[in-house]
Chain A
Amino acid sequence: MKYMFLLFNEEGEANASPEAWAEWMHFEEEATKRVTKVDAAALQPASTATTVCIRNGETILTDGPFVDTKEQLGGYYVFDCRDLDEAIAVARLIPWAPTGHIEVRPLLEQSPGA
């Protein structure tokens, strides 16, 4: 069975330190001794997020991450887009856009998992 691991923490510069980096590499080494890595990525900070939804046929953009306790994370996609405009255009096509919300956030370009 494939499992998804969602990582939560407070954001801080300390995460980008060489020590932190080494820890992540060590973790990956240990983990891949036991299981197969399917996919992984680090995200840019939440301040780079844009939340997209469609209501009454109108696209509504919100600056920042999705915050709502009623709706739950139900899946994810990673697409390679030219820029945020293209990413938003794709988000509008996702079937949940008219009922739920799509948080669009860039991946960190160089991360241990990438």
Chain B
Amino acid sequence: MKCDRFWSSLLEPESGIAPIPTNPTGAPRLDRGAVQELVERAIRDDWARMLASVARAAGADFQLAEDALQEASLVALRRWPEDGMPWNPSLWLMTVARHKVIDRLRREQTFQRKLAEVARELDLQEGSTDPNGDPPDAELWTDDRLRLVFTCCHPALGLEAQISLTLRLLGGLTAEEIARAFLVPEATMAKRLVRAKRKIRDAGIPYRVPGIEHLPQRLTGVLRVIYLIFNEGYTSTSAEALIRPQLCDEAIRLARLLAALLPREPEVKGLLALLLLTHSRWRARLDRVGDLLVLDEQDRSLWDWDLVQEGTAILDSVAVERRPGPYQVEAAIAALHAQACAPDQVDWPQIAALYGQLFRMTANPIVDLNRGAAVGMAYGPDAGLRYLDALDQNPRLDRYHYLHAARADLLRRAGRHAPAAQAYERALRLCGNPVERRYLERRLRELRDMQMRGEAN
């Protein structure tokens, strides 16, 4: 009975049909446990929409917006068991929260200053403030989340603050969850979030989608934040667990949202495709004891082929637009790996060419390093080693363990075991991730065993 009532109450009324009354005669009251679950679900599933909209009423005071949503949940817990469920719980919570914000602003000294902004916003929202009335214009909700993205990733905030804010305000993760993901004390993360929210409010960071002249540059910053969130989940720099799927899932969710909000930006789809294709391999990336497996050691049946298919389809759809960008190129590289039925079927020459293209776009020395590794796979270890030797002159790369690991792998493939072992040792001295270290140690052990057997023969 309760279940029926819950699901029907979630359905938005079709046009022309009156909204479902909140408490039809004789309807059973909901018990508090069920209501609590519904409130939590609405907050979890619709967090970004609600917060984005409430924040607009709050004049981009995100602390105020969060507090108001919190208060609205408490009101819901009190009232829903008595009054029955509103047909749209999220809209109800959002509307109550907006009223809380306005009440609070009225009481505050800053009211005068914000009055004009709020009044204007309320005009726009006219007709949507009744929780049981018509749903607000879908466009308005959409716009608010886009404002939220660009505000969280504003370049006047530090990169760490941008990442944390995006996870909190857009992803709905708690300070504790973000702290755990980034291995910092919860108090540190809470302080970082409070400081960032204060800066937005006090420094006048606008709650706005940037104009067309700044959009490309600002979008690059937003995509970078999502990419870094994914990377932090995929290859933690220090955590014992290499893969923290929650961060990867969250990054993918954010990329999906952004792709829906900005359908005309090919790089957004490029990033989404890249994340899906990379994430498709996560189950195959570690062996039973949690050690790292490189691509050609992975069990391809463990790859998530739904993700591969989705990522490839998105990449195909955007590639025809012929507006290439770094994320599309990187996604193409990931797609080529996924398309090969076996390690020896990988189209390495094309991958090497794509890395060349990516390097021309980004001038990132690490991309050049990957190109060297791909050249080695495409045209033989010696060709790859010659390429890496040229890179060795770059002092920044010399301190980067991947350079030495890449050289070690090529030397091993070329059968030059002693210099390969030296390169693995060098990589080990520079590598901080325990799981990656175990991979390097395993390779080193294998080489030493081979050397010993060679000497014994």
Contact = CB atoms under 8 A, between A and B. Distances in A.
Contacts of A45: 202
A61 interface: yes
Given A47-B195, A63-B199, A109-B113, A87 B155 contact: no
Contacts of B156: 50, 61, 63, 84, 88
Given A50-B203, A85-B208, 19 more contacts: A44-B202, A47-B195, A48-B198, A50-B156, A61-B156, A63-B157, A63-B158, A63-B199, A64-B158, A81-B204, A83-B204, A84-B154, A84-B203, A84-B205, A85-B205, A85-B206, A87-B204, A105-B203, A106-B203
A48 B206 contact: no
Interface string B137-162: 00000000000000000111110010
B245 interface: no
B81 interface: no
B86 to A, nearest CB: 35
Please tell me the size bucket of the interface on B.
10 to 19
Classify the interface of chain B: helix, strand, loop or mixed: loop
Q: Which 8 pairs, one residue from A and one from B, show the smallest C-beta to C-beta distance?
A: A63-B158, A83-B206, A50-B156, A48-B203, A48-B202, A83-B204, A61-B155, A84-B204
A88 B156 CA distance: 9
Contacts of B206: 82-85
A106 B201 CA distance: 11
Contacts of B19: none
A87 B155 CA distance: 13
A80 B158 CA distance: 25
Contacts of A83: 204-206, 208
B199 to A, nearest CB: 6
Contacts of A82: 206
Contacts of B203: 44, 48-50, 84, 105-106
Interface residues of A, number: 19
Contacts of B208: 83, 85
Contacts, number: 45
B136 interface: no
5 contacts: A61-B155, A84-B206, A85-B206, A85-B210, A87-B204
B207 to A, nearest CB: 9
Interface string B223-242: 00000000000000000000
A88 B203 CA distance: 11
Contacts of B157: 63
A63 B156 CA distance: 5
Contacts of B155: 61
A74 B195 CA distance: 29
B189 to A, nearest CB: 16
A16 to B, nearest CB: 12
B310 to A, nearest CB: 35
A48 B210 contact: no
Interface string A42-64: 00110111100000000001011
A52 to B, nearest CB: 9
A85 B206 CA distance: 7
Contacts of A105: 203
Interface string B170-210: 00000000000000000000000001001100111110101
A107 to B, nearest CB: 11
The winner among B204, B205, B210 for most chain A CB atoms within 10 A is B204
Contacts of A81: 204
Contacts of A49: 203
A87 B195 CA distance: 20
A35 B265 CA distance: 60
Contacts of A88: 156
Nearest to B207: A83
The winner among B155, B203, B210 for most chain A CB atoms within 10 A is B203
A82 B156 CA distance: 16
Contacts of B205: 83-85
Contacts of B195: 47
Nearest to A108: B202
A99 B113 CA distance: 37
A13 to B, nearest CB: 13
Contact of A47 (B113, B198, B204, B210): B198
A88 B155 CA distance: 11
Contacts of B161: 63
Nearest to B154: A84
Nearest to A52: B156
A49 B286 CA distance: 44
A58 B249 CA distance: 33
A82 B207 CA distance: 12
B211 to A, nearest CB: 9
Contacts of A64: 158
Contacts of B158: 63-64
Contacts of B202: 44-45, 48, 106
Given A61-B155, A83-B204, A84-B156, A48 B199 contact: yes
